[in-house]
Structure 1
Amino acid sequence: MDIVLWLFVVGLVLAAWAYSRWRHSYWSSLGIPTPPSLPFLGHIHKQLSLTQNRWDYFDEVYYKYGGATFCGMYEIFRPVLMIGDPDILKNIFVKDFDHFVDRRQFLAEEGSLTNEMLGNKSGDEWRALRAVMTPTFTSGKMRGMFPLISDKADDLVSFTLKEAAKKPYVDMKVNFGRFTMDTIASCTFGIECNSFKEEEPEFAKWAESFFSFSFIRTLKFTIINISPRLFNFLRLKLETSGTKFFERVVKQTIAVRKRGQRRGDYLDLLLDAQASHDQHTTKSTSIKSNTTSETSNTDNHSDNDSLSVVPSKQVLTDKSIVAQSVLFLIAGYDTTASTLAFASFLLAKYPVHQQRLRQELQQMVQEHGDITYQGIMEAKFLDACVMETLRLYPPGTFGERVCNKTYKITGTNVVLRPGDLVTIPIWSLHHDPRYWPEPEVFLPDRFLPENKTNIRSFTHMPFGMGPRNCIAMRFALLEAKVALTKLLLKAEIHLRSCHEELKLEPSPFLLRPDGGVNLVVSPLTAKTN
């Protein structure tokens, strides 16, 4: 009996192993290279590791296993195609976008706030929501927000110089986090966080908690990646206490706005869109009611049925407005703060570029009489410094698209099926010496107008590309440029002794400095000025 049981167990293990081998032969059967994988797990243990950065693993795949063109990977048994060829990426992001409209969805339990966020929407729902939100970030809106951003940047500089007078160095990552939280909250929701007046600012503290990836939290993301059904069966939740905090704040603000207080900001735009849709729905329902009444007085029902108007689905429910607001607060806080921290480190490390940028900014003030929106937009070297920072340290080190229609990759025999996932190694593209000579060196001149033609399309995409790029890109760039301008016109920044290299926080998702960015900050002297 023991031998029979043993043989049964061995047979079961062999059958499972053979099944795993078969499922992991999908890419090789198409002639596509695949890096070494583990039975059953595929490559997911590499992607969600807490000890190895995802971008480092993707970099290995990019150079060793064909990822610079394309290669196959597996998340458990789900096929994933890494694509690093810029020409193929152009087709996926733009030319054939209708085949790759969606991103990976993290759909949690029904009613979850996460499910309502723009990044989690797909198909027509995404299109409708994106169309409603896009007008918030036009040039006109950015110009109107400029004074508020400028005021918060003044608070940043004043606070930093006061700290610098008391301490040998200042953690600029923390200070930029205070700035971005105050700016986003003020410009988009009319909320005054007062982060520079509190020793431990509450808003920034809760936002920061969202980006702490413990083993348990990473495990939750792993489970929802593998099986959303299992995730919901186990009654797990993605939302943190920080998410709940911001949800309460936004709900309170919406209640105030609905009582008549207006600021013409992001939140008001969403509420106006909701009200406009409600009016349209009421009108459509009235038309349908009148049509039905008329048809009851005639024998020709079929002719009148064609006049009925069916109300369209509500795009912006109260829950959806809360979700977009929380997303903007949390995501905008960290990505821009980290970019500013990286930029300040690089400018401290390369003082020649720092001084060159300062001279451009001083000339801008002389020409415009002050720091103005127009002047910021015309500052070419400022733009180049920010773009080069985003090349070296893209907030998102990879991108993803889900194939929603059968798609043949141009010039190959590779066919993607609906549901197949495409991964884009943004970090690797940004550091590939084929596209960027001396890729690890901070060289802002690459992005000056006269040199931009040398940049190959789809090798620099810190905000994504195509119709599904970052909707708040203009806001983030303006924020970063104003903060750097104000800081460099008032202070010099230098590297702290024995801290010439920057460490990156181990994370499966976002790129963040590890241990802060500690810089020596000194007031700008008259001689330097």
Structure 2
Amino acid sequence: MLETCLVTLTLAAVIAGLIYKFLTWNLHYWEKRGIKQAKSYTFVGSFPSTFSHQRNIAYDFDDIYRAYKDAENFVGVLMMRTPKLLVLNPALVQQIFVMDFQNFHDNEISQKVDEKSDFIFANNPFVLTGSKWKERRTEIIPAMTPNRIKVAYPITLDVCQRLTRYIKEQTKISGTEGMDTTELFLRYTSEVVSECVLGIRANSFSGDSSPIYANTKKIFSQTYIFRFYQLLNGFFPALERFYKMRFFPKDVEDFFIGLTQKTIDLRHKQDVDKADFINYMLQLQRKRNISTPEVTSHVMTYITDGFLTTTTAITHCLLLLARYEDKQRQLRQEIVQNLDADGNLSFEVLSDLPYLDACLHEALRIFPPILFNKKLCTNTCELVNKDGSVLKVQKNDVILIPAYCLHHDESIYEEPELFKPERFLPENGGLKSYRDRGVFLAFGDGPRVCLGMRFALTQSKAAIAEIVRNFIIKPNPKTRADNTLTKDSFFGSLEGGVWLDFESVDST
């Protein structure tokens, strides 16, 4: 009996020791490579909010950023057990995104998905690597030219007018409850993207939930499952060799492949030559002999890029305008002064309104859609620290770019928590002055900057202009007064949601 107990205790001690060794194996990984390492804990690594859920992980990033940015260009961190390098210096950020692009060509997510597990997402330019990414980028860029976006602009204006009618109807129903603005603009982006890209109406402003709207929402409900997979992957990095994550649910993939095929068949029957996105896809299909699933992956690139970014941008821009009544009045004046004889903003005018542009980019600074980027080292190279020491970055090392931290650094942006669109006006250097310094990263930067950026900005500006000219926007009491980020998301959005009141300008 005693011998059995001793054997059991010994085995338990060995197992406990092995588990402890497993959990603490990388605790001093970066120190062994000769650089500072942020304080890291067994099990949770450098980012305890990953597990505590008491605040957004961006605030863990910010704590590390502020603690080390003055003395270091980069610092080692652990995401659970997985070592990653956090870059702190804007010039180095610019170097990684632009000048040394060949050494940081790919995004880390490319290691976590493949065509077998998720054909559509694996063929998104954000995920593709090497020559495949270059080929896909070459295919997509011609579909996003200013001329094609201009051709789709009348559709956007029509959707904006339907949006205005929908808000007026819902305001009568909701009364003092306010409107869930995120939900509102998920409907808008679903409608405008499906009409501009597929040439079909999603009926997102109807009482019943349309299949396109419902299925597009499903895509982003998967972010929590994807988050859980990333947690597991942080503990067991080798997991991605054996199991790849599906970002697009199978039923959503099947729905959009079927929808794209129906759209293609209908366009063939109509035999019309339009300078829109779906027509470009058909031309591409004929030239390259690509399959319908491949065409669908192109279509989904437009939908995913336009859906989330546009919704986030519009929602938080209107939130900030609602809080700052003087800025809202100034923007309304700019819009009204530039309306044409038909009471609309032309595509050229919309693209060139300086205060509208400044308001939108200031909102994207405060609430960046992507809080941090993960780049993959594709060629062994060297990074120089502030003290002149050199780190040899190995192939497949992961580099973290803290977009949120840079956007909220008071040494870069004076009073960063305040909504000050004037900092992005042309007379103050405009957006370019910040992008050139590597401190504005709402869409990434360099050759892999978001391909749908121009399209997303046009749809965002059109909706914001339509709302501001027609409504006086005020924060509903259900909306918090600060800029606290929601706890459980990698996307920059306000905790508790954005609820706004819309009062018709005509009634004032």
Per the normalisation by structure 1, the TM-score is 0.84
Structure 1 partner of 2:127: 120
Partner of 1:250: 260
Where do 1:140-151 residues align within 5 Å? 140-151=147-158
The question of 1:6 aligning with 2:15 is answered no
5+ residue gaps in structure 2? Answer: none
| Counterpart for residue 276 of structure 1 | 287
Q: Is 2:103 the partner of 1:94?
A: no
Corresponding letter in the other structure for 1:102: D
1:422 matches 2:417: no
Which amino acid in 1 is paired with 2:321? Answer: L
2:149 partner letter: M
Counterparts of 1:50-449 in structure 2, within 5 Å, are: 50-66=53-69, 69-104=73-108, 105=110, 106-108=112-114, 110=116, 112-113=118-119, 114-166=121-173, 167-168=175-176, 169-212=178-221, 216-223=225-232, 230=239, 237-240=246-249, 241-257=251-267, 261-262=271-272, 263-278=274-289, 316-365=290-339, 370-410=344-384, 411-449=388-426
The one-letter amino acid paired with 2:322 is A
Which range is displaced more, 205-214 or 432-441? 205-214
User: Once the 2 structures are TM-superposed, how far is the Cα of residue 10 of structure 1 from its aligned partner?
Assistant: 2.9
Distance 1:60 1:364 in 2: 44
- Structure 1 residues 439-518: aligned runs within 5 Å: 439-452=416-429, 455=434, 457-497=437-477, 499=479, 501=481, 504-518=485-499
Partner of 1:23: 26
User: Shift of the alpha carbon at 1:261?
Assistant: 4.4
Higher alpha-carbon deviation: 118-127 or 245-254:
245-254
Q: Which sits farther off after the overlay, 495-504 or 73-82? A: 495-504
What amino acid sits opposite 2:490 in the alignment?
F
Match of 1:285 in 2: none
Q: 2-side partners of 1:237 and 1:205: how far apart?
A: 18
| Distance (Å, rounded) in 2 between the aligned partners of 1:13 and 1:264 | 65
In structure 2, the residue corresponding to 1:81 is in which secondary structure?
strand
Alpha-carbon distance in 2 for matches of 1:508, 1:193: 27
After superposition, the Cα gap between the structure-2 partners of 1:12 and 1:227, relative to the gap in structure 1 and judged at 3 Å, is closer
CA distance in 2, matches of 1:60, 1:447: 27
Residue identity opposite 2:259 in structure 1: V
> 1:399–1:425: 8 Å Cα contact kept in structure 2?
yes
Instruction: Give, in whole Å, the separation in 2 of the partners of 1:409 and 1:326.
Output: 36
Listed one character per residue, the Cα deviations across residues 181-226 of structure 1 (whole Å, up to 9, x for unaligned) are 1110011111210111234344333322332368655323434566
Question: 2: CA distance between counterparts of 1:220 and 1:19?
Answer: 19
- Superposed CA offset, 1:394-431 (max 9, x none): 11111111001001014541111000000111111100
Tell me, in whole angstroms, the C-alpha distance in 2 between the residues paired with 1:89 and 1:508. Answer: 23
Q: Secondary structure at the match of 1:211?
A: helix
How far apart in 1 are the matches of 2:332 and 2:122?
Answer: 44
The 2-side partners of 1:498 and 1:210 are apart by 27
- Cα deviation for residue 440 of structure 1 reads 0.3
Gaps of 5+ in 1: 279-315
- The change in CA–CA distance for 1:239 and 1:228 in structure 2 (over 3 A counts) is farther
| Per-residue CA distance 1:256-310 (angstroms, 9 max, x = gap) | 34556454322332332232234xxxxxxxxxxxxxxxxxxxxxxxxxxxxxxxx
CA distance in 1, matches of 2:141, 2:17: 54
SS of residue in 2 equivalent to 1:134: helix
**3-state secondary structure, aligned to 2:78:** strand
Contact 2:306 2:455 (8 Å CA) reproduced: no
Change (3 A) 1:235 1:357: closer
Deviations 1:437-467 (A, max 9, x none): 1110000000000112664711111000000
Residues 116/109 of structure 1: CA separation in 2 closer, same or farther (3 Å cut) = closer
Distance 1:197 1:5, change over 3 A: closer
Cα-to-partner distance string for 1:454-491 (whole Å, 9 max, x where unaligned): 64711111000000010000011111111111111112
Residue type of the alignment partner of 1:396: I
Percentage of pairs with the same residue: 26
Q: For residue 335 of structure 1, give the secondary structure of its aligned residue in structure 2.
A: helix
* SS at structure 1 position matched to 2:133: helix
Aligned counterparts of 2:383 and 2:234: Cα–Cα separation in 1: 25
- Mapped contact 2:305–2:452 kept (Cα < 8 A): no
> For 1:395, what is the secondary structure of its paired residue?
coil
Distance in 2 of aligned mates of 1:318 and 1:352 = 50
- State the aligned residue count: 490
Aligned partners of 2:223 and 2:247 also within 8 Å: no
CA contact (8 A) 2:257 2:292 kept: no
2-structure distance, mates of 1:186, 1:147: 11
Contact map agreement 1:397 1:509 (CA 8 A) in 2: yes
Which amino acid in structure 1 is aligned with residue 463 of structure 2? Answer: A
What is the DSSP-based 3-state SS (H/G/I as helix, E as strand, rest coil) of the residue aligned with 1:429?
helix
Q: How far apart, in 2, do the equivalents of 1:345 and 1:386 lie?
A: 11
One-letter amino acid matched to 2:102: D
Q: What secondary structure does 1:409 align onto?
A: strand
Aligned CA distance change for structure 1 residues 38 and 516 (closer, same or farther; 3 Å): closer
What letter corresponds to residue 13 of structure 2 in structure 1? Answer: V
